[in-house]
Amino acid sequence: MLKVEELYFSYGDFGIGEINLEVNEGELVVIIGPNGAGKSTLLRAIYGLLKPSKGRVTVNGKDVHSLSPGERARLLGYVPQSHIPTFPFKTRDFVLLGVTPEIGVFGAPGKRHLKRAEELLRLFGLGDYGDRPYTSLSGGQMRLLLLARALMTSPRYLLLDEPTSELDLKNSLLVMQTVKRLTRKGVGVLAVLHDPNLAYPFADRVALMGGGKIIAVGKPDDVLEEELLSEVYGIELKLIECNGERFLRGVIL
């Protein structure tokens, strides 16, 4: 289990606090909320990039901040919201960088690592891009590549910050369907999503954030509710049902 207990973190005049959250193996928990709610900050604190001033994060009973880089890579995978390319690695080599925490900076990937990288490239429709500089990829392709890199160590839990950002409809669904398949193999996923409508068909549970705190956690049908979301997002929202599916739409004034 990935467990967050009484987590606090702050910088300047903004912070997150009173965060309690659990993600089980094989479960997809989606975090939603308006811009500035603290969603990305929470993911960075959970992964250990930010050290909380209070509280703790454990993975299968182990404190995240006590893990070695190799242990963390085997337990946690993290895909940030943005990535700034610094060197024109080949696309295949960029994915292989995902095993660095496991083999060390001076270690060399083996045949099994190369096989895994090729499998992941094909999975995300990038099989023909292996020898191309990854800096030549589109923004959407970069999102898929970052997810492939995070999966190189086959982590037990994934932290995804806006995994569908910059993706078209087809690739957004590809990513979410792939993530859902991972949960069926026992991987626990905590994902920040910009669009609450993606939570309906994919999330097992939804956590709604606002003002640096988690306001509600529960099944999608319980959290994605008109009155609650309208208050948190500051806009009137209507729930539409069609052919058994539910959608949220903002009211045009």
User: pTM here?
Assistant: 0.91
Token pair, residue 102, equals 């496991």
Could you tell me if residue 93 is inside a domain?
A: no
Domain range spanning residue 194?
2-87+155-250
Residues 6+ positions from 179 with CB-CB distance below 8 Å: 28, 158, 160, 163, 189, 191, 202
Query: Residue with structure tokens 């669904």?
Result: 173
How far apart CA 109 and CA 39 sit, in angstroms, is 34
Domain count, the chain: 1
Token pair, residue 28, equals 């997809």
Whether 63 contacts 56, CB under 8 Å:
yes
Could you tell me if residue 58 is inside a domain?
A: yes
pLDDT in tens, 133-183: 999 998 888 888 999 999 999 999 999 999 988 888 888 888 899 899 899
Could you tell me if residue 123 is inside a domain?
A: no
Q: How many CB atoms lie within 10 A of CB 197?
A: 15
Could you tell me if residue 122 is inside a domain?
A: no
- pLDDT band, residue 241 (cuts 50/70/90): confident
- What pairs with residue 63 in β-bridges? 58
Q: How many CB atoms lie within 10 A of CB 61?
A: 7
pLDDT in tens, 7-31: 999 887 788 988 999 999 999 999 9
What secondary structure letter does DSSP report for 42?
A: H
How far apart CA 135 and CA 34 sit, in angstroms, is 30
- Asked if the model's pLDDT at residue 109 lies above 60, the reply is yes
pLDDT in tens, 82-102: 787 778 899 999 999 998 877
Angle CA 40–35–147, to nearest 5: 40
pLDDT at res. 223: 93
Virtual torsion, Cα 89, 110, 80, 2, nearest 10 deg: 180
Collapsing DSSP to helix, strand or coil, 177 comes out as: helix
Could you tell me if residue 102 is inside a domain?
A: no
pLDDT at res. 115: 94
How far apart CA 217 and CA 28 sit, in angstroms, is 13
Could you tell me if residue 186 is inside a domain?
A: yes
**CATH classification of the domain holding 204:** 3.40.50.300
What strands, in cross-sheet order, belong to the sheet with 157-161?
Answer: 76-79, 157-161, 188-192, 28-32, 205-210, 213-218
Could you tell me if residue 189 is inside a domain?
A: yes
Full DSSP string of 211-252: TTEEEEEE-HHHHS-HHHHHHHHTS-EEEEEETTEEEEEEPP
How far apart CA 160 and CA 77 sit, in angstroms, is 8
Could you tell me if residue 98 is inside a domain?
A: no
Backbone dihedral angles phi then psi of residue 236, each to the nearest 5 degrees: -75, 125
pLDDT in tens, 32-75: 999 999 999 999 999 989 989 899 999 999 999 888 888 888 89
Backbone dihedral angles phi then psi of residue 125, each to the nearest 5 degrees: 70, 25
Collapsing DSSP to helix, strand or coil, 60 comes out as: coil
Q: Which residues of 159-179 are buried (b: 16+ CB within 10 A; e: fewer)?
A: bbbbbbbebeeebbebbbebb
